[in-house]
């Protein structure tokens, strides 16, 4: 490590920042490819690209922008290769997603993800199952309702309650982090 805890090797800095941006970048990739396993594969491809191109990257300048661009290209290539979506995404939609992700760029806050994981672990089994069916299983509101034996409205109310509980838990956890 060099001065102020920064890596002496620019490649190390790129890789370190890339790995600390993992959750943020993986969620962007996942939004594009809509498949967890494929998103992981794309993220690994982005890592390889960044390692190969580390000498072309200016470490101090908006690394997340480089990461996002590489993730976009790798995601679109993966979609085209696997044709998982049936129809390709419009460039306008991908541009809008890029803009939203750049505005939300908080890769330096992995504690938020850790807080969320901790809060999810504290949920009752039924609430965790509901989240898993909805987000891991990619079930629509109606399909979720059918799966848990309720109305679509009932499924949305249940999900809203889980989301509210998670928001409160993450806020409490975040407040605790700020105090320590």
Per-residue pLDDT at 5: 47
The 3-state secondary structure of 24-77 reads HHHHHHHHHHCCHHHHHHHHHHHHHHHHHCHHHCCCCCCHHHHHHHHHHHHHHH
Q: Based on the domain organization, do 96 and 134 belong to the same domain?
A: no
CATH number where 11 lies: 1.10.1740
List Cα–Cα distances, 12 to 2, 16, 50, in angstroms: 11, 6, 11
Predicted confidence pLDDT, tens digits, the chain (180 residues): 444 444 456 567 777 777 777 888 888 888 888 888 888 999 999 888 888 887 777 655 567 778 888 888 898 888 888 765 444 566 677 777 666 666 665 554 556 667 777 888 888 999 988 888 887 777 778 888 899 999 989 988 998 899 899 888 888 876 665 444
Task: Find the CATH number of the domain harbouring 170.
Answer: 1.10.10.10
Q: Do 147 and 83 lie in a common domain?
A: no
pLDDT at 151: 92
User: What pLDDT was estimated at residue 11?
Assistant: 65
Q: Which H or E run contains 108? A: none
The reply to whether 114 and 163 lie within a common domain is: yes
Residues 39 and 72 in one domain: yes
Joined tokens for residue 150: 């309720």
| Whole-number pLDDT of residue 3 | 43
Domain closes at, from 103, 138, 165: 103
Which of 62, 88, 103 is a domain's end point? 103
pTM (predicted TM-score): 0.51
Domain extent, residue 47, equals: 3-103
Residue 19: predicted pLDDT? 77
Note whether 99 and 121 are same-domain residues.
no
- The residues, any chain, with a CB within 8 Å of residue 106's CB and separated by 6 or more, are 24, 112
Number of domains the chain is built from: 2
Q: Considering 103, 118, 145, which residue would you say is the last residue of a domain?
A: 103
């Amino acid at each position: 490590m060099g001065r102020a805890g920064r890596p002496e090797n620019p490649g190390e800095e790129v890789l370190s920042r890339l790995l600390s941006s993992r959750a943020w970048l993986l969620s962007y990739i996942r939004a594009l490819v809509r498949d967890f396993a494929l998103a992981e594969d794309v993220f690994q491809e982005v890592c390889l690209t960044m390692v190969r191109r580390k000498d072309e990257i200016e470490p101090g300048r908006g690394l997340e922008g480089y990461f996002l661009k590489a993730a976009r290209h790798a995601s679109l290539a993966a979609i085209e290769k696997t044709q998982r979506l049936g129809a390709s995404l419009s460039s306008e939609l991908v541009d809008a997603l890029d803009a939203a992700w750049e505005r939300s760029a908080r890769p330096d806050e992995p504690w938020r993800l850790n807080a969320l994981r901790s809060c999810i672990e504290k949920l009752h089994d039924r609430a965790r199952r509901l989240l898993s069916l909805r987000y891991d299983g990619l079930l629509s509101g109606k399909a979720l309702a059918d799966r848990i034996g309720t109305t679509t409205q009932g499924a949305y109310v249940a999900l809203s309650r889980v989301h509210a509980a998670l928001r409160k838990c993450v806020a409490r956890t975040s407040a605790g982090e700020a105090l320590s």
